[in-house]
Amino acid sequence: FPGAISYVPQEPLIIKGTVRENLAFGYDSSDFKEDDFWQVLEKAELASFVKELPLALDTPLGERGTNVSGGQRQRLGIARALITMPKILVLDESTSALDAATEANITSSVLRNRSDLTLIVVAHRLSTLLDADRIYFMEDGKVANSGSFQELKQSNLLFREQAEAMGL
């Protein structure tokens, strides 16, 4: 199931169904091997949580994911996006409910052994962008500057002030 592009919004849609059905969303869950589900859950730092659920992958999540936290919903969205092995992965504030360490672990895990993946990240939290190859810094709805994190710290006063305010 090679997917060309996967998109993960800040608040991913969680259907009234099981973990498995939510991960396979848009596909028949039987199209995937059991291991496929666990691999993407590992990458999204959610496997240990799902293993502890009463029915693991077959545990119902409730209407709109009422049985999981905001961070768990975001990680489910990321796992869902990864199941098709996309070439381009767009994360649109999709880690905003996660702590910085979990976010860094997920990003590292997603990119590990995936030289064929282009990751596009929309983020307000600058720590999310520390290791980005290229950042496009927006001001007033327009690209004000682009470059690496360090290049933007040198060339853009507002970026530098925000980075320093966050201790970066």
pLDDT tens digits for range 77-134: 999 999 988 989 898 887 777 777 777 777 777 777 667 888 888 888 888 888 888 9
How many Cβ atoms sit within 10 Å of the Cβ of residue 37?
Answer: 21
What is the per-residue pLDDT for 134?
A: 92
pLDDT band for position 2 (50/70/90)? low
**The pTM is what?**
0.83
What is the per-residue pLDDT for 70?
A: 81
Please, what is the average pLDDT of the chain?
Answer: 87
E strand or H helix at 145 = strand 142-147
Q: What gap in Å lies between CA 44 and CA 34, rounded to an integer?
A: 16
Mean pLDDT of 5-13: 89
**CB-based burial, 50-84: b 16+ in 10 Å, e otherwise:** beebeebbebebeeebeebeebbbbbbbbbbbbbb
Q: What gap in Å lies between CA 135 and CA 130, rounded to an integer?
A: 9
What is the per-residue pLDDT for 57?
A: 96
SS3 133: coil
What does the CA dihedral 8, 14, 19, 20 come to, rounded to 10 degrees?
A: -70
- Residue with the bigger pLDDT between 104 and 28: it is 28
Under 8 Å between Cβ of 77 and 94: yes
**Percent share of the chain, pLDDT over 70:** 96
Q: Which letter does DSSP use for residue 94 in this model?
A: T
- Residue with the bigger pLDDT between 167 and 95: it is 167
The set of catalytic residues is 93
Q: What gap in Å lies between CA 54 and CA 57, rounded to an integer?
A: 9
Mean pLDDT of 39-54: 93
Whether residue 1 has pLDDT greater than 60: no
What is the per-residue pLDDT for 114?
A: 67
Mean pLDDT of 12-19: 90
What is the per-residue pLDDT for 91?
A: 87
Handedness of CA 71, 60, 6, 39 (dihedral sign): positive
